[in-house]
Amino acid sequence: MVGAGISTPSGIPDFRSPGSGLYSNLQQYNIPYPEAIFELEFFFHNPKPFFTLAKELYPGNYRPNATHYFLRLLHDKGLLLRLYTQNIDGLERGEPLFPLHVTSADVMADRVPCCPVCTGIVKPDIVFFGEPLPQRFLLHVVDFPMADLLLILGTSLEVEPFASLSEAVGSSVPRLLINRDLVGPFTWRPRRRDVAQLGDVIHSVERLVELLGWTEEMQDLVQRETGKLDGRDR
């Protein structure tokens, strides 16, 4: 389970960190309250604040960090049953969310992207507040009871129904929280086998990779993937 805290080392602000979080820096967008920028009703009423923010955070301008590569290593080793992410930066997938050819010119030119056929506003493929979660989210009903370890990285566990997934694993299943601070059930309903590695996510992930004896594999993966990104950006 991951959140915006895994992307701050890539240069993308999270939402709630005091001072640096996005919700502390939206004054320029003239919105009634911070979360409005991600609310479906507000988006269709006034899409401008969202697309102004999207220009600032446009996919392709940021690169994955060690945390994203650690998740990829878990996948490559057949250890990752599923990744549940709240993030819209696409860094876990290494691909942008917007169909770049359709929206980038408009977004970069401070225009609201509209469909060339029906002229409706182009809504990005992210889940807004007030919008149903994608069907695949229901996989959690099968996934979490099957899990024999739950990793939670870089999230405040503030938003439901995502946050409650942290308690959906069996009571004897170890839960490892890697985060700057203790959050959610780790504070008010801790379990016997909980482990919390608090502090910077990169430092914590690199320490975990070292303990697993995967440091060399990780370095090879980062080198390989960074080379591909350098090639793409040329």
Active-site residue flag, 203: no
Q: Residue 129: count other Cβ atoms within 10 Å of its Cβ.
A: 14
Q: Helical H runs in the chain?
A: 40-45, 48-56, 66-76, 100-108, 140-146, 185-188, 201-212, 215-233
64 binds ligand APR (CB under 6 A): no
Among 66, 91, 183, 209, binds ligand APR (CB under 6 A): 183
- Compute the least distance from the CB of residue 207 to ligand APR, in Å: 13
Q: Which residue has the tokens 């080793």?
A: 77
- Compute the least distance from the CB of residue 118 to ligand APR, in Å: 27
Among 1, 15, 64, 151, binds ligand APR (CB under 6 A): 15
User: Catalytic pick from 45, 101, 140, 203?
Assistant: 101
Q: Which residues from 22-41 bind ligand APR, rule CB under 6 A?
A: 35, 38
- CA distance readout (Å), 64 to 58, 76, 131, 164, 202: 14, 16, 27, 27, 12
From the number of C-beta atoms within 10 Å of its C-beta (0-12, 13-18, 19+), residue 116 rates as exposed
197 binds ligand APR (CB under 6 A): no
Query: Which residues are at the interface with ligand APR (CB under 6 A)?
Result: 3-5, 8-9, 14-17, 21, 35, 38, 86, 154-156, 158-159, 179-181, 183, 200-201
